[in-house]
Structure 1
């Protein structure tokens, strides 16, 4: 970016009311603010565009070079009334102009967001859900570095440098917001014995040492946990639990059950991404 463009960006600011870095917006949340323009020179034949944007980015790397695929899944333009423009359509140097905007985060994407062929209506419904922000949080959101979902308010000032010429960009500004839209609760997963990713039952042989005989087998059986619901502000969640039962089958009658001295758990997140349109959902049962 050259010096002129950097300087012009100082002339334009986006102020979102009651906004802070860790604020979370969800469906139905208002995004209200002002576009503040203070040009250093006259902007003649000016035009203003304010857009609520949602885009996903997937970066693919190969042996030669990397490529980024960007998908714009949401673009809502704010109508700018004529009263927001100065007389004669010229923003005067040294004068501060304030243009308000008001958005409401939608509950779903328009039907055109999934106009390609899909395997079922379930896939179409998934594709019309707003995806949550990824890769822009203050803390690790467990998303891979090759994928991002970004929501932003973007403002652009257009002008005609000379009469008879087409509009060109004079300056622009952008403010990123984090969105976690509510999603419908999904039914329990269909987990098969051949699944490599999920298991509700595991059995392990117990030995005192590598060279000693078997003491028996311990089998752990778990039930699927209830979904973990985040609070609308993103700062807390409703508790959930995973009930697990342990069964010990001794190799001989005189073998006593081992004593449980330590319990640990971890969360593993999976993200599927591809540069082209997806017609189905990842196979959660087998893959």
Structure 2
């Protein structure tokens, strides 16, 4: 028998309307409607292709007339933003609606729920990995964003542990059972009974290609250079440059309770000493944090919110962003050996060339005059200036490997996703401490980090998968939920009582 999971009771409201004198409902006894999920428990996590099976039971304490019973799997995203006058605006986007067809033979004849009798209606859903194309048809800057918007986003805002989401953004999946009744022909259909059951969903995802990050993408710091000195007023020992490489994805198990394996990242280090006698620094410590960035909007999002300037773009709706960080468990690293290289200037002056390391870009001689005398003077001044500085002819480089895991014991990590009005991305903040003798210096990087959920084949529990007939009905439901754009009609259609596409 299916287990009863957080059943919701609802009073039958098809009773006689309240009188104008007391404006109170008549004291009819409550009816009982429950959503019962098979093998369900409060912390259970559903992923892509997971079956969601069970039944809806209805028991009434009086005769209740009805016309239809609906069993739906609904996914919604909700945002709240504050308008310029301080008034909050709530926006709800229905991104998924799957209906379970109920055979006519399952209904009682006549359609009356009799007193004391328990009616059972089974259902069977499968968590999809993709939405239909009609779930997102608003204008956007790239087809790559459309591919993201039609992926099923994870549940957000209703986990047992903190999922680092603000109260202004929420994604929820529920099983809803409704008893519908139409009192009179042509009147509105009433929901006389309703029960809901919330699901926790972590859809599987795939590894995305590395981001193409430019100087305009303020969320990330891929490279940082710092001068190394013994003291503030001391002579500079050299320049240390750290450049991060986007790490591979952090892959979560399908239940969200752990990682498949630790994630490995790399940082390229380059040290340009002021003197050939200055040794390269030693990496003494690496610490890290992971930051969760949630972007939400009162209107549809037409670009990747983590690329460019999220709050500086001209849009006709309100936007918001929320960020929070969590410290990583100890980051594992093993100091790597430095390699010494000749600079391009040293190779050019000595005629010596080597392929042991990367070359450093060298500025060309200043001036582009065609006058030979002026060109010779320019070269002489450049050589004189460089001879005074006596730049070191060498530099050192190494690649530092780091290994880290997410603090899944303390936080709930949902996969990176982009949907029509809500997005979630992560950044990895790494701080490297290096030492030259008694001098220490810290360089910090902020790298993009994709969090994804592994795909696991569904267990064969003997449950029949959805039929083609039901898939057609799901497509029809998505078409019904396709967003409509309301705007002022063209001048030719104003005050004419004629709509485009219709004949006279």
Question: What's the TM-score, normalizing by structure 1?
Answer: 0.87
Asked if the contact 1:191/1:285 (under 8 Å) is kept, the reply is no
Q: Give how far 1:60 is off.
A: 0.5
SS, match of residue 87 in structure 1? coil
- The alpha carbon displacement at 1:40 in A equals 2.0
Matches within 5 A, 1:1-287: 11-62=32-83, 63-159=85-181, 167-210=189-232, 212-239=234-261, 240-252=263-275, 255-282=278-305, 284=307
Q: What displacement does 1:149 show?
A: 1.0
By how many angstroms is 1:59 displaced?
0.4
Question: How far 1:237 sits from its partner (Å)?
Answer: 2.2
Whole-Å Cα distance in 2 between the matches of residues 21 and 184 of structure 1? 27
TM-score scaled by length of structure 2? 0.51
1:190 CA displacement: 0.7
Q: CA deviation at 1:130?
A: 1.1
> What do the CA deviations read for 1:93-130 (whole angstroms, capped 9, x no partner)?
22222111101112311121122333332222222111
Distance 1:119 1:257, change over 3 A: closer
Unaligned segments of structure 1, at least 5 residues: none
For 1:14 and 1:189, the matched residues in 2 are separated by 43
Equivalent residues of 2:89, 2:298 under 8 A apart:
no
2:77 is paired with a residue of what secondary structure?
strand
Q: What CA distance in whole angstroms lies between the structure 2 residues aligned with 1:61 and 1:212?
A: 52
CA distance in 2, matches of 1:8, 1:228: 53
| Of 108-117 and 31-40, the range deviating more from structure 2 | 108-117
CA, structure 1 residues 41+208, in 2 after alignment: closer, same or farther (shift >3 Å)? farther
Q: What runs of 5+ residues in structure 2 fail to find an aligned partner?
A: 1-9, 14-27, 311-504
Match of 2:339 in 1: none
Larger Rg: 2
Q: Secondary structure at the match of 1:268?
A: strand
Moved more, 43-52 or 271-280: 271-280
- The aligned residue for residue 343 of structure 2 is none
Deviation at 1:244, TM superposition (A): 2.0
User: What's the counterpart of residue 412 of structure 2?
Assistant: none
Pair 1:43–1:218, CA change in 2 (3 A) = same
